[in-house]
Structure 1
Amino acid sequence: MKAPETEADFLQWYEDCWADRDEVEYPKLFGAISEEVYTLEQSGALEAWLESDLAEVKELDPNWGGMGVRVAPPSPEYPYWTYVTSGLSNPFTVVPGQEIEPGTPSGIGYEMVIHTSEEAQWPVLRLLDMMAYNLVCMRAFAMGHRYPVEGTLTGGETKLNGFVFVMDPSRPSHFQLESGQVQLLTLVGVTKNEMAFSRSNGMDRLMAKLVAAGSGYITYPDREQVQL
């Protein structure tokens, strides 16, 4: 398809793609989504990465500020909390009148998801920080990646200090917007040794151990390291 050519029509199309993801696709994937959005402009994460040595942009794009994190509380179908980014798949890489080929990624091409057993603030903060890293440092994530963090995942008492990026088998790997395809990257909290195990033995073997231990694709900050 082709993006609208006039500025007014393009802006409306941009907003419609955003709404289609958040108001149509997300409820289908995660259940009821709370109305509150934790935005990048509220967090200061963009400014923090802009001042880092890794920054690849000179100034912040005003389109980034409204991007953020949405929350889906537990439901009968999904009895856990879900935190999902909203904005990395916005069509900010498209210009009015541009032809969008089938299979083209929308925006960066993915959104990130964290599942937890209890409501918490740390998944919101982590996702906002990682969104800002993607945008300001122009470094993208992908399925199978590993991402260590400074300190612990929650900033408190936990043995988890990083994420692995996997596909949650309970959901589709991607969904489609008019602006392109969007992949779902599920982030699972792991220990340093578990991350090393996945590097040496493969992500599938690590996830099999996490599933056998009962945590699977949900992050439990108080869990023990699995038997490796």
Structure 2
Amino acid sequence: MSFLEESWEEREENSYKQIFGDTGQGIFPLSNEILDRLNAKSIDPRWLTHGVFKCPPTEQRNTWAYVTSGMSNPWETEEPEEYSGLGVEFLMETENEEIWAIEVLLTLMGYNLLLANGQMGDFPSLDYGHRVPLALSESIKTMMFVHPVNFPSNFSIKSGSVDLLQVVGITPSELEVAKKTSSEEIKERLVSNTGGLVTSKERESVV
């Protein structure tokens, strides 16, 4: 296998199964449709190999977990580096099995790939603390990126380190407080009030 293939396999077959357990029946791939919806000026065919795994609850976790796979592929190198590829993958938790969670992560991954490719202007790639407008409902209108609490914040594969950014949906009032204080402040209030970072379409604001 090539360096790319070995790194890819290590992430999906070793790291993900250690972190998430069962990664489901296969990957839900990123599509041209989602990238077109994001007004992609051009689409790298390699992006269409990226996707999301849907991981059912385990003995250690009663939530469903969804995780992207592909942004940490070392497409451009044959040697280990500090960070593998873009150095990130995204994670979301839900109480029940939810198809919309896959769509949310695919959309955010597509957006991040376009950011990294310079197609969204002079803006940095998505990172901890960032907030992206993406409405699930009248009460949950923004996706916030934070350090996980029930999963490791990073893992390593042969091509380098990968940060796990957890995505959690927040309310308009939570967004306003996050702007005045920080995303970390809202994260701490969510964990304190709800016990974790589960995303749902409907919940009461914690501020």
Is TM > 0.5 for Structure 1 vs Structure 2?
Answer: yes
Cα deviation, residue 159, structure 1: 0.8
Match of 1:89 among 72, 94, 98: 72
2:13, 2:22 → 1: CA distance?
Answer: 9
Match of 2:129 among 137, 140, 144: 144
The SS at the match of 1:44 is: helix
Any runs of at least 4 consecutive aligned residues in structure 1 with deviations exceeding 6 A, and if so which? none
Where does 1:135-214 land on structure 2 (aligned, <5 Å)? 135-138=113-116, 139-149=124-134, 152-153=135-136, 157-214=137-194
Corresponding residue for residue 106 of structure 2? 128
The SS at the match of 1:71 is: strand
Q: Which runs of 5+ in 1 are unaligned?
A: 1-8
Corresponding residue for residue 33 of structure 1? 23
Partners of 1:83 and 1:123 within 8 A in 2: yes
2:154, 2:193 → 1: CA distance?
Answer: 27
More moved, 164-173 vs 78-87: 164-173
The SS at the match of 1:84 is: strand
Matched, 1:44 2:58: no
Aligned length: 200
Corresponding residue for residue 62 of structure 2? 79
Matched, 1:218 2:190: no
1:195, 1:160 → 2: CA distance?
Answer: 10
The SS at the match of 2:49 is: coil
* C-alpha distance after superposition, 1:131-151 (max 9, x if no partner): 1112234351011111112xx
Cα deviation, residue 215, structure 1: 5.0
Corresponding residue for residue 18 of structure 1? 8
The SS at the match of 2:166 is: strand
Cα deviation, residue 45, structure 1: 1.3
Partners of 2:129 and 2:184 within 8 A in 1: no
The SS at the match of 1:204 is: helix
Partners of 1:83 and 1:124 within 8 A in 2: yes
1:136, 1:209 → 2: CA distance?
Answer: 32
2:183, 2:25 → 1: CA distance?
Answer: 34
* C-alpha distance after superposition, 1:1-59 (max 9, x if no partner): xxxxxxxx6xx221121111111101111121113211013x6212333xx2xx4xx53
* C-alpha distance after superposition, 1:122-171 (max 9, x if no partner): 1111111111112234351011111112xx22xxx451111111111332
TM-score, normalised via structure 1 length: 0.81
Partners of 1:148 and 1:162 within 8 A in 2: yes
- Give, as a single letter, the amino acid of the residue that structure 1 aligns with 2:171: T
